[in-house]
Chains A and B, each alone.
Chain A
């Protein structure tokens, strides 16, 4: 099935955005503004839908003119593109979105044509499926581990490196005793929270203003 690779599902959704020339702020503008201010990292709402490996939201305002002799043409609607890679099946995932991040769903899809609201979760799921486009070719490098399994493995990996360094040079009996205790701890290790503990997930860099500094 083209949408699936191993245990991972590749969801592609294109939701037409409401076009209302009389609105104070356009619907696509409102979506962009909401997303620009949405927190990320472990405080991201998407961390609550914890089967999500990676996902993105893109406001696609038009197709692109690639230059003559190609035709110039335009979309008559703007579309909200949602690409998600998650564990498990589609309908439970969509239901989780409705139940766990209703404020995000309302603030984003509330600006889209035909959005039925969240009072009836199955109506919401049906709405999203109407917007779904089948993936033609899906590549997933790691497609046989859940998010939780991967987060736990990353934690274990770091602990193992620590352990090896710490006990380097000790006697076999000492290492064996230490390893037994270590393995006990590893077996009881839970996974980290998704999104990790960076507030933004990456290192912000100061915008480079050296040219202004040189000439200003």
Chain B
């Protein structure tokens, strides 16, 4: 269990930045020489995982698609050593991810549908003014080197809360940001419930190799990674998905079903995902919201499903139970430990408060960002087998209530009891609450790898 070299790892692979606003700049590299020159120029700007004495007002990180690595001029042997799902790219993997119908690539935003994105520049900051400043510097570098051009700038921002500051809710009204996995060397205060379960019922960190390349993973080996070793070590893979939210459809659906669900509207909303909209985990507090739990880091993610195998507290198909089943499949969670992802997303678009008219076509949703060592084994698996399918949870073909690609059909079963306020209930005729508007798979190199790529000295021997 080595101490991680924080200076070599890009910051947000280790920790979330907790800045309220971000701009994701998508670029196309002009040619190998220009691209490497740009990379050399921008290196000093990249934020590492080193701890801050004084928190900066913004951060900057870089990631590359396979096409971007090709354009940068990495040698064939290195390129051929990347995993096949990364080489093919997220668009080509649409059948596996069930990005079809309204989420099909033909319906994506033009930048994702038509262009080839090479580079992702992730800028997080305190305010839009700070983001603008960083972007100005970026544009200067582009001018100087001629290395790339900007295809699109995606703004993202935490939604406003009732006090006029930034909150942690997303457009459907759910509080987000719980449950990022805890791993060896992450050097942040672990919260019970974030790691994996031991036989004794204790929570311990997951193996580093599940989230960073070059380290032992939960299978007890250093997993296959791109060569040379220095290109991959301390790097990771990133999933970027622009998830449009059909806010009007969601609110209408919740309203309509609340009329026949005896537990009431907020309880129904809590059953969809497994947390009340204020963030209280249903497993710990099935009947009411409880901020005492939600604001206590030792409790807010500290629960298991082993005492709720009937699903009468947290429905078996609820969103957080699908995406992180914990011990719900038995074996103390062993089947889940290699299927975790770190999430770093932010909402985008204007927030419309409840009660005010809102349309499905307005630009709002979530920029979903996930980090993992293996796209195939982690993100893709969860998406294909646990979100768009339900056999492991014994729910047949039923999909994730909130983010499943329902296409107007499909259902979600809420398991209930004899308690009149917790009845068995079927949510049928499910529409798409969420639709994919684009995205890609990216490689997040270490600082060493970035320098090698900039100098053109990647050598797989």
Contacts and interface: CB of A to CB of B under 8 A. Distances in A.
- In the complex they form, whether A and B have CB atoms below 8 Å apart is answered with yes
Interface of A: 161, 164-165, 168-169, 205-206, 208, 210-211, 214
Interface in B60-100: 67, 87-89, 91-92, 95
B19 to A, nearest CB: 35
B88 A165 contact: no
B425 A208 contact: no
Contacts of B428: 165
B248 to A, nearest CB: 23
Contacts of A210: 88-89, 91-92
B260 interface: yes
Contact of B88 (A161, A205, A211): A211
Contacts of B88: 208, 210-211
Given A165-B411, A168-B260, A169-B260, A206 B95 contact: yes
Nearest to B87: A211
Contacts of A211: 87-88
Interface SS majority for chain A? helix
Contacts of B260: 168-169
Nearest to A170: B260
21 contacts: A161-B411, A161-B426, A164-B426, A165-B411, A165-B426, A165-B428, A168-B260, A168-B425, A168-B426, A169-B260, A205-B95, A206-B95, A208-B88, A208-B92, A210-B88, A210-B89, A210-B91, A210-B92, A211-B87, A211-B88, A214-B67
B81 to A, nearest CB: 15
Contacts of A161: 411, 426
A210 B102 CA distance: 21
Shortest 10 CB-CB distances between A and B: which pairs?
Answer: A210-B92, A169-B260, A165-B428, A165-B426, A210-B88, A205-B95, A164-B426, A208-B92, A168-B426, A208-B88
A210 B86 CA distance: 12
B287 to A, nearest CB: 22
A164 B411 CA distance: 11
A168 B89 CA distance: 44
A204 to B, nearest CB: 10
A103 B152 CA distance: 62
B101 to A, nearest CB: 14
Nearest to B88: A210
Nearest to A164: B426
Given A161-B411, A210-B91, 8 more contacts: A165-B411, A165-B426, A165-B428, A205-B95, A206-B95, A208-B92, A210-B89, A210-B92
A161 B89 CA distance: 38
A161 to B, nearest CB: 7
A164 B67 CA distance: 50
Contacts of B425: 168
A211 B66 CA distance: 11
Nearest to B423: A168
Contacts of B92: 208, 210
Interface string B383-418: 000000000000000000000000000010000000
Nearest to B96: A205
Contacts of A206: 95
Nearest to A203: B95
B217 to A, nearest CB: 26
A205 B94 CA distance: 11
Contacts of B426: 161, 164-165, 168
Contacts of B95: 205-206
B108 to A, nearest CB: 15
B80 to A, nearest CB: 11
B219 to A, nearest CB: 22
B97 to A, nearest CB: 12
Nearest to B70: A214
A3 to B, nearest CB: 29
B14 to A, nearest CB: 32
Contacts of A169: 260
Contacts of B87: 211
A215 to B, nearest CB: 9
Contacts of A214: 67
Nearest to A209: B92
A24 to B, nearest CB: 39
A124 B426 CA distance: 54
Nearest to B67: A214
Contacts of B89: 210
A211 B92 CA distance: 9
A184 B89 CA distance: 52
A196 to B, nearest CB: 13
Interface in B240-262: 260
A71 B25 CA distance: 59
Contacts of A168: 260, 425-426
Nearest to B427: A165
A205 B100 CA distance: 13
A214 B66 CA distance: 11
A37 B260 CA distance: 53
B344 to A, nearest CB: 26
A101 B356 CA distance: 67
Interface in B407-461: 411, 425-426, 428
Nearest to B66: A214
Nearest to A210: B92
> Among B89, B91, B428, which residue has the most Cβ atoms of chain A within 10 A?
B428
Contacts of A208: 88, 92
Nearest to A157: B396
A199 B192 CA distance: 50
Contacts of B67: 214
Nearest to B95: A205
Contacts of A165: 411, 426, 428
A214 B79 CA distance: 14
Contacts of A164: 426
B283 to A, nearest CB: 25
A206 B95 CA distance: 9
A214 B87 CA distance: 10
A214 B88 CA distance: 9
A214 B92 CA distance: 11
A206 B105 CA distance: 15
Interface string B89-126: 10110010000000000000000000000000000000
